[in-house]
Amino acid sequence: MNTVAAVAGIELRTATPPRPLAACSGVRAFRRIGEVDAAEWDSIVPPDELQMRHAFVRACEEAEVEQAEYRHLLVYRSGVLVGIASLFTMRVRLELLCPSFLRSVILAGRRIHPGFLRPRLLFCGLPVSAGRPCLAFRAPTDAPYVLAQVSAFMEHAAAELDAALLCFKEFRPAEAALVDVLRQHGYFRAFSLMSFGMTLPWQSFGHYLAAMRAGYRRQTNATLRSSRVAGLRCRVAPGTGTDWDRFFPLYDQVMDRAQFQLERLNQRFFESLARHLPGAIRTITIEQGDEPLAVAVVLETPRLTTFFMTGIDYRRNGAVAAYPRLVTEVVAEAIRAGTGALELGQTSPALKSRLGGLPEPRYLYFRYRSRWAHALFRLTAPVLFPENSALARRVFRA
């Protein structure tokens, strides 16, 4: 049986053994990803999922993003590894995940009760908001078993870590069809931010422009033309060759203005990511003279390019439209790389859809440990996490 009541025993590996956690049989849990064999972990991870790989998880952990505390799970059935998952816990200000019109209401409630809508969350995922989970199965048929084991572990870990709210994040529609079994374990589903992506069938950026309908091609050419007039140039560099001291202040400016913010990455994270994923991370910088105006961090596998993070100098961006040029250059670089698909991320929907990005929902699964809090949170979830109404544009002639 895979119920919480039937859970018994765990093998928890750590250099300094803490008070053991109760969890389901068949689960091995580790407090540090370095204690997990990288080859075994990655044997479950799909080839194009860089954000689930052992090296990516290690970069998050080493950088101590948001001082998160981790649990890394290997799930076995009959001695065979059938699933992996990373969990982390942190205190979250839920108003930073809500529409702006609700924030004043939440802040007013917090003046009465300081902990109002500021729970400690236990996530299945990583403290990096990029629209991807950190949960994988050997085969789709393993999903119900793995999810039963992971959700059971999370119940006991939440008690030990004093987490009031549990969350699985973030899933595409096809993935949500697999993980929707979480409803049987007391979770409900909510909307995350829409993400944008596109397939890249073109042999060159010129072919991409030629495939556009006239109005969208005019807008893209206008961006490129104004960029030339302003004297902007593009520089592409491998992650190991990037001057992160120049990039990071621009990322900070973006986070200072971000409407939705779960976590804030630090410079050590980007440096660690470049070190642990050599060859898979690049930066694209739009410069004027010697000054960087906008920077994109791009992750790349043979079949997928991901626009991962961005930095913008807002003091100068408006005058020269550096950010539209940057996103256009991300599309161009992905076509040149020949990966065949591009993930553009969850921000700037108007610009990304104008360049051909198609919207796709992302889903979260929540469960409060308190029944009354769970009922209230579920009731208010459609307001806190509204469905995004982003529409697909018909950018290309075919």
The values of phi and psi at residue 159, to 5°, are: -65, -40
What is the value of pTM for the model shown?
Answer: 0.85
Q: Which of 41-55, 82-96, 114-128, 360-374 has the lowest mean pLDDT?
A: 114-128
- The answer to whether 29 touches 18, Cβ cutoff 8 Å, is no
16: pLDDT strictly greater than 70: no
Q: How far is CA 298 from the centre of its chain?
A: 13
As a whole number of angstroms, the longest Cα–Cα distance in the chain is: 68
d(CA 172, CA 367): 19
Share of the chain above pLDDT 70, in %: 86
Tell me the pLDDT band of 257, cut-offs 50, 70 and 90: confident
| CATH of the structural domain 4-193+362-384, one choice from 1.10.3720.10, 3.40.50.1980, 3.30.70.20, 3.40.630.30 | 3.40.630.30
Establish how many alpha carbons lie within 13 A of residue 382's alpha carbon, considering only the half-sphere containing its beta carbon.
1
- The answer to whether 305 touches 101, Cβ cutoff 8 Å, is no
**DSSP assignment, residue 298?**
E
d(CA 90, CA 83): 24
Tokens representing residue 296 in the block: 């994109």
d(CA 368, CA 163): 9
Class of 196-360 in CATH: alpha beta
Q: Is 337 exposed, middle or buried (0-12, 13-18, 19+ CB in 10 A)?
A: middle
Angstrom distances, CA of residue 270 to CA of 187, 259, 296, 350: 33, 22, 12, 27
Which residues does 239 contact at the CB level (< 8 Å), separation at least 6?
270, 273, 274, 277, 278, 280, 281, 282, 283, 297
pLDDT of residue 100: 55
Tell me the pLDDT band of 1, cut-offs 50, 70 and 90: very low
Residue whose tokens read 């995940």 = 97
385: pLDDT strictly greater than 60: yes
Report the mean per-residue pLDDT for the chain: 86
Tell me the pLDDT band of 216, cut-offs 50, 70 and 90: very high
pLDDT of residue 26: 85
For the chain, which residues make up each domain, given as ranges?
A: 4-193+362-384, 196-360
75: pLDDT strictly greater than 50: yes
Tokens representing residue 135 in the block: 């949960």
Q: Do domains 4-193+362-384 and 196-360 have the same CATH topology?
A: yes
- The answer to whether 74 touches 84, Cβ cutoff 8 Å, is yes
pLDDT of residue 28: 95
d(CA 334, CA 337): 5
- The answer to whether 353 touches 364, Cβ cutoff 8 Å, is no
Q: Is 120 exposed, middle or buried (0-12, 13-18, 19+ CB in 10 A)?
A: middle
Tokens representing residue 78 in the block: 């009959």
The values of phi and psi at residue 14, to 5°, are: -160, 155
